A and B are shown apart, each in its own frame.
Chain A
Amino acid sequence: MTTAILKKTIKMPIVFTDPRLFQICALSSFLIFGIIQLGWSDQIESYFLIISFALVTQAAWMLGLGLKADTLKSGLITGLGLSLLFHSSNPLLWAAAPILAISSKYVIQWKKRHIFNPANFGIIVPILLFGDSWISPGQWGSSAVLLFFFGSAAAMVLLKVGRIDTSLAFLGTLFLLEFLRNVVFLGWEWDVVTHKFTNGSLLLFAFFMITDPKTTPGGWLARMLWGVGIALLTFILTSKFYIHTAPMWALFFAAPVTALLDNWFRGRHFSW
């Protein structure tokens, strides 16, 4: 309601009214930040290849299936997301990852909806199939990044550009579990937990990956359950099995559940 009024009274830049453009801005500024500030400049070739292949693959599907030119935006988002998270020492995989990611949208479908988050699929599958790719969860690690993620989150709430409720369900649950385990049970200090939550990869995942409306359940309750479920799985994988890239794996294996949840909660209306 307020957003609608806001949008009418203040002429917002297009970037803030089109969720996908907003994502493109945010993700590309993360990438620029990483290149300038965090020393990722030696991976520029990989970013270039990943993003190009994402766009080319998207364009190919677009032409093949007669889709709107608009879909190039989501191709770019996937390319940027992959650049921010995916690492490989094999240049072939810089091309393969975006091809897999984007093609998964059109190949792996259930009831005309794609199942896997494209970037997530493009990261996990090469890791599963080929040995020479990985995720670097420690590559961010600055509080400036954290602030900006919060800024993005606030903007998303205000402008309803994403499904921020999923992010909050995920982060809230995970925070509660980590707090209970580390502070209450183990007796670590507070900053052990806050340090875990300033991890840029985790925040990127929470705000820009599981908020994708295409691969999250439609209903509010279903979405909440889904967010909580991924947080639970993440927590178990991190604290029991010491898998530091747990959220990515949790999302990958939880993806097929989206369809189930959608089925169960169909027809129910949640309004506030």
Chain B
Amino acid sequence: MTKYKHLLVAILIVVTSIQSSAFCGFYVAKADAKLFNKKSEVILVRDGERTVVTMSNDFSGEVNDFAMVVPVPVVLRREDIKVVNRSIFNTLDDYSAPRLVEYYDENPCTPRFEYSMQESVQLTSMAINEFAPSANMVRKDYQVTIEARYEVGEYEILILSAKESDGLKRWLTDNDYKIPESAEEVLDPYIKSNMKFFVAKVNLATFKGTNSEFLSPLQITFNSDRFMLPIRLGMANANGFQDMIVYALTREGRVECTNYRTVKLPTDRNIPLFVQPEFGEFYKKLFEKAYTREGENAVFLEYAWDVSPSAGVKCDPCIGPPPIAQDLVQAGASWIANNSWNERAFFTRMHVRYDRENFPQDLFFQVTPNQERYQCRYILTHPAQGDLSCEGGQRYIEELNMRRKKEMDELVALTDWKGKYGSNYINQYENQKNEKKNWIIPVLGGSTPWTLPLAFGLMVLLIGVLNKIFTRRAATH
């Protein structure tokens, strides 16, 4: 039997950061810059009815093109809005991203111990300057009320309430927020649900840089019984699907979606060694496959763990430093601040790929008491080194071949990557041994609607037969 010796290395490859993004709102261009908001990150903290939403604003493009509109349930006060350091997103991402781990086999002929360590996580955090200047907004008869106006960080923020979508649309257009045509119809339901609009632009008068990569994340706090993310507005200028990573923090346990399925991604799988340099691509492909299999309308769980300051093991293995109390507070879990050692915090990372067709409703969430840990973890196993000519070594090679075949099968099952390195990899250590047949449980495709009728048919047969047996037995007694 193969023995795994040391768990040595944890490599994180942050899922490729694609272009710019839109969270619940949308980014609009003033010029005709072509914008594709593909990936965004949101921190969502829920404590009773108190909700803190932090939007990463990782927008790529000209700073003066940046504009966002986010529906919010209440008029936010000045103290409810702040900018936070971008590093909080990096901390949470580094900590919870899908991980690749390595094990080393022990040589059955000459057992020895190896220990080495490598880590490849480096994401820099950047300091953000604060700005507090002013700008002018003219109010015409748009039936739009500016409920509040704030200067926060480099942003110029307005809280609007509107009577009808047309007025709001005109207002936004006249104030240089170029609204996509399709946004108007989505504005209407939000107005009628009594939502306010959180509108932010970069204050060009004072923002020195032109590089939007340095925009700071905006954090808003409010009380509402609605625990949701209004994604519909963000679909207005999106081309195809968008990806969103949600980092959720609660006192009780996991956060799950209530109107879409929250699905775990395949985890703890043994995969071939050659995946290592391409782990990012591997994970992207794995996600894509899972997304298709689950019908393109699920929310995926990528990580769930107790991150309470007093919790013992915060990750296994850790690929980035676990968030400390200060990070949690910065993310919005303010209950940690007072008595950090006794307070609980549970972290959930979700990944949702959404588009208009498959996600007609906004995302609604609930906090559950579920504290079960979960992580996306993929395993590499390095073969034993050295002389394998002893009897045990020969057996080991046989097992190794079988294992590698399984790894290849697993790789195909997870990603559909076929034949790239296949036979070479499996046979690399095969000397004189014959290959044995491998077995794998067939995985049913996600969109096979016949499973249910089939199950039903079988149950009808089974229950019918059982019933007959029981009634006959009862009759004979």
Contacts and interface: CB of A to CB of B under 8 A. Distances in A.
B453 interface: yes
A175 interface: no
Interface string B427-469: 0000000000000000010111101110110111001100110
A145 B448 CA distance: 11
Contact of A188 (B189, B366, B459, B463): B189
A122 to B, nearest CB: 17
Contact of A187 (B188, B225, B228, B444): B188
Interface in A191-243: 191-192, 194-196, 199, 241-242
Nearest to B467: A14
Contacts of A29: 452, 455-456, 458-459
A37 B446 contact: yes
A236 to B, nearest CB: 13
Contacts of A33: 451-452, 455
A115 to B, nearest CB: 27
Given A37-B446, A131-B252, A186 B193 contact: yes
A181 B464 CA distance: 45
Contacts of B253: 89
B366 A134 contact: yes
Nearest to A191: B360
A128 interface: no
Contacts of A21: 463-464, 467
Contacts of B259: 137-138, 141, 195-196, 199, 244
B459 A25 contact: yes
B74 interface: no
A182 B467 CA distance: 47
A39 B263 contact: yes
A15 interface: yes
Nearest to B257: A138
A85 to B, nearest CB: 14
A36 B225 CA distance: 35
Interface in B323-378: 360-361, 364, 366, 368-372
Contact of B256 (A131, A136, A186, A195): A136
A257 interface: no
A185 interface: yes
B361 A134 contact: no
Given A28-B459, A136-B368, A187-B188, A69 B474 contact: yes
Contact of A244 (B264, B364, B448): B364
B257 A196 contact: no
B463 A131 contact: no
Contacts of A42: 264
A73 to B, nearest CB: 9
Given A37-B446, A186-B189, A187-B185, A25 B368 contact: no
Contacts of B264: 39, 42
B226 interface: yes
Contacts of B451: 33, 36-37, 144
B261 interface: yes
Interface in A130-151: 131-134, 136-145, 147-148, 151
Contacts of A30: 452
20 contacts: A14-B467, A15-B460, A21-B467, A26-B456, A29-B452, A33-B451, A36-B444, A36-B451, A42-B264, A134-B370, A138-B257, A141-B295, A182-B189, A186-B192, A187-B189, A191-B360, A192-B361, A195-B259, A196-B361, A242-B226
Interface of B: 185, 188-189, 192-193, 225-228, 252-253, 256-264, 295, 297-299, 360-361, 364, 366, 368-372, 444, 446-449, 451-453, 455-456, 458-460, 463-464, 467-468, 474
Interface of A: 13-16, 18, 21, 24-26, 28-30, 32-33, 36-39, 42, 69, 87, 89, 131-134, 136-145, 147-148, 151, 182, 185-189, 191-192, 194-196, 199, 241-242, 244
